[in-house]
Structure 1
Amino acid sequence: MGRVNETLLKQLIELPAPSGSEWLFQQKWMSLVKPYADEVVVLDRALGNCAAVLNKGGLPKIMFSAHSDEVRMVVGSIAENGFIFLKNDEGIDLSLVPGREVWIINLKNELIRGVIGRWATHLEGIIFKQEDSDARKIHEYWIDIGVKNGIEIRQRGIEEGCPVIFSSGYHKLNAGFYYGRNLDNRAGVYVLVEMLKTLYKTRDRLKAEVWIVSTVQEESSDTMPVKIAAEVIKPDVGIIIDTEEACDYPAFDDLDRDYYGNVKLEEGPVLRRGLSINPTVSDLLKKIAKKFNIPHRIGAVARSEGAVTEASYLAIAGLGIPVGEVLIPIRYMHSPYQLGAFDDLYQTKKLLTCFTRALNSKTILGYK
């Protein structure tokens, strides 16, 4: 297993960045990458995509992108009796909501701790019809912050629209595993920061102009702000770094595992092929992985499986960009406790570093 910077990983995971409210995280991200870049910039004032560039003026110009945001709920309404009701506009499984500790990010960007209420089990058939007991709606859950009325809630800087996230932070397990609430996609953000640091230390070997981008609102936007970032940078090639659900746990039977590509932890990144992915880019990624003995899998992209990701929007930015996509396996995506393997972080960073060093002014990616 390769070395992982746990201090940085913990820092990135524990910083909150609910989708649509990423700015505090972005400011910290810029301070982390600034020592290893020629320049750090805010790419757009409207949404807050941020980027760092190394070896400015090199060829080709490559853009690596990982979204900074995490899934969230929001304060939907504040009741006069001192409870907060929720709205959910993203991919959080509502069966995971009751009984959880959460953070509400108030108007001053302070973290207000609360718990999501859960009636006692023996009252289930009394409060709700028994046949409906496993099918709660989001508006049937509430946050309790321990106050007497709605006025006290508002005095704490909470109002409708404030984001709500699970409170779980970074935890290390034995045997090379770790977990936290937002490995999707802090794992990808971590890999790009570590890649930039490695490239900076050996920049004399670098021919390409390298951009790493921390994008926003991937979890909630229908427009994918990565497209805006790309239209500012105008790269020759783009690589999206994100996460992929592993299928190496008991919920999957053998047929399911085969169908979903048998993705496992500690077997390296998934290199996607198919929709929006340029084959010259995916072929070079695969070639580099084989050359440097980096474990990996090939993953198919199909629109029928909801495969419209940041890669789909990056590919159509400007006049079109040849795009590749590299995914880090994790378990339990969009849950309060997403689990990953240190070695997959290391192998993904190694792949992207070797890929970048292989690029020069004669590299042709895309259709010619």
Structure 2
Amino acid sequence: MRTESLEFLKQLVNTPSPVGHETRGLRVWLEYVRPFAEETFWDAYGNCVAVLNKGGSPRLMLAAHADEIALVVNYIDEHGFVYVRRMGGVDAAITRAQRVVIHTRNGPVKGVVGNVPPHLTKQEGEPKPPKIHELFIDIGASSRREAERLVRIGDPVTLADEFELLRGDLAIARAFDNRIGTFAVAETLRLLRESNARLEAEVCAVANVQEEVGLLGARQIAYSLKPDVAVVVDVTHATDYPTINKAQHGDVRLGKGPTLTHGGCNHPEVVARLEEVARKVRIPLQHEAMSNTSGTDTDAIFWTRGGIPSALVSLPNRYMHSPVEVIHLKDLEAIPRLLAAFAKSLKKGETFKVKLG
């Protein structure tokens, strides 16, 4: 991966961007993408847009969510221990014994999620996973009064894990879900700008907020931006490790390229165009089938304003919603190339409709 791009990815992943508190991560994204855009702006809740070829047609939205799953301070007991609620799909069982950062108005406060040693517990049968309200954070305070000088109810909490290269092109981090998406749409703008490509379409790279708690930012920005076509970038579950049932969850592997999802909110003509351009630029694709929903912003975008033709491109990700998410950098590099080729393929005023005759 290009050195500057890798540094951007590291900074993006390492910058805390808890759901509902994405400002710091969005500032990093805007700083990187501005040189490749003709215009940048953001709305009331922080959904950010970077525009290339303003006034072109059709308007293409390349969308990815900027938030990460997190915890939030919910209660402080008399001994100064901090209890939390979840924001998004946090797994309480793997959150115990983790180092965390509480993000306060006065700066970060370090803490650890307490874990009672097995020597001090008596259990009959198999141990039960903890409930989220049973987790507590030790910030080193000896009383509620001392703790309240440091943190307050509503402060977001993230794990302290950061980006590392594991081996070769494999990388690990918390919150690749979905910094890889905002990385990919920013890199798409860079590729288009640096290639001096002749575009008919207006290309809007979007970093939207609050996906992890209901696809909320995507609903806001899709409604106000009014795109003619949209491609969403997110992560998907890699299934190439022990205990995963491929008959149930599909066969998705690291290093074999991004995935393209079929069915439901994914418009067949947009999907077909993505397949076509992938063949032309020799990008390998993996394929996924969806049932009722995709679990991504595509579900919110495709029905907005009577229907926006949309498609979902995903990066295989092992151990999603954990501090040790694993991705393949070659898979990630392929996504901006695919999106750039898709943008270049759009003809002036082109629309996507299901073929009925």
TM-score, with length taken from structure 2: 0.95
Q: Which residue of 2 aligns with 1:24?
A: 24
Residue of structure 1 aligned with 2:212, choices 194, 216, 219: 219
Corresponding residue of 1:154: 148
In the alignment, is residue 265 of structure 1 matched against residue 254 of structure 2? Answer: yes
Question: How many residues are treated as equivalent by the alignment?
Answer: 354
Give the deviation of 1:202 after TM superposition: 2.0
**1:235 counterpart letter in structure 2:** P
The answer for the alignment partner of 1:297 in structure 2 is 286
- Distance in 2, matches of 1:64 and 1:72, equals 25
1:362–1:217 distance in 2 versus 1, CA, 3 Å: closer
1:295-350 deviations in Å (ceiling 9; x for gaps): 111211111xx534211110111232100110011101000111101101111121
- In the aligned structure 2, how far is the partner of 1:166 from the partner of 1:323? 33
State the one-letter code of the partner of 1:53: V
Alpha-carbon deviations, 1:25-61, whole Å to 9, x = none?
A: 222222221111110001x21x211110001011211
- Cα distance change on mapping 1:150 and 1:75 into 2, 3 Å: same
Change (3 A) 1:203 1:58: farther
Question: Which residue of 50, 58, 61 maps to 2:59?
Answer: 61
Which structure 2 residue ranges, 5 or more long, are not aligned? Answer: none
Distance 1:308 1:170, change over 3 A: closer
Tell me the distance in 1 between the aligned counterparts of 2:140 and 2:108: 15
Alpha-carbon distance between aligned partners in 2 of 1:249 and 1:229, rounded to the nearest angstrom: 36
**Structure 1: runs of 5+ lacking an equivalent:** none
Q: Secondary structure at the match of 2:307?
A: coil
In the TM superposition, residue 3 of structure 1 has moved relative to its aligned partner by 4.4
1:151 positional shift: 1.5
Partner of 1:92: 90
Aligned partner of 2:34 in structure 1 is 34
- Letter paired with 1:149: S
Residues 362 and 39 from structure 1, CA distance in 2 versus in 1: closer, same or farther, beyond 3 angstroms?
Answer: closer
Describe the SS at the equivalent of 2:304. Answer: coil
Report the equivalent of 1:239.
231
The aligned counterpart of 1:208 is: 201
Counterpart Cα distance in 1 of 2:119 and 2:304: 55
Q: What's the % identity of the aligned pairs?
A: 34
- Aligned CA-pair RMSD: 1.6
Aligned equivalents of 1:266 and 1:141: distance in 2?
A: 36
Report the secondary structure of 1:309's partner residue.
coil
Structural mapping, 1:90-169, within 5 Å: 90-108=88-106, 110-125=107-122, 129-131=123-125, 133-156=127-150, 158-169=151-162
The separation in 2 between residues aligned to 1:163 and 1:188, in whole angstroms, is: 22
SS at match of 2:154: coil
Distance 1:124 1:145 in 2: 23
Measure the CA separation in 1 of the matches of 2:109 and 2:352: 48
CA distance in 2, matches of 1:89, 1:230: 23
